[in-house]
Amino acid sequence: MAGCPGGNGIHITTTGGTLTDSASGVNTVVGLGESVDTTLVFDITSKTWTRTNLAAAISVGLADETRGRYAVCAGVSALLPSVTLTVQGAKGRVHFAASLKEFNDALRLGPGR
């Protein structure tokens, strides 16, 4: 049995693109015993962005070939070859939290424990 394509953990990848070409971005891995918890606060009067090759992906993988031989994998990605985004009068707060620790611990203990 093969593991998940991205491996174990939560994988977050983004590229911001530029006006003419792709730029390097974020490539973060949150391991099985770790978590991510962040809040973004924004207040935008008016802003326009134009980019090429804007991309984002998130995948989750949990595989164990030694105990039970299982793999749980999921992911999504998006590529926008050319995008213009205009935001006007936006205020808000975005909270993102993710962890695989409890799920991994439950698998380690086995069914009904």
pLDDT digits (tens, 9 = 90+) for 18-51: 644 445 566 777 777 788 888 989 999 999 988 8
Tell whether 1 is covered by a domain: no
- Please give the pLDDT value at position 91: 95
- Please give the pLDDT value at position 108: 66
Residue numbers of the domain that contains 74: 9-109
pLDDT band at 1 (very low <50, low <70, confident <90, very high): very low
Tell whether 3 is covered by a domain: no
* Count of structural domains, the chain: 1
Q: What is the DSSP string of 30-80?
A: E-TT-EEEEEEEEEEEEEEEEEEEEEEEEEEEEEESSSS-EEEEEEEEEEE
Tell whether 61 is covered by a domain: yes
What digits encode the pLDDT tens for the residues 56-113? 888 888 877 666 677 788 889 898 888 898 999 999 999 988 887 777 777 666 555 5
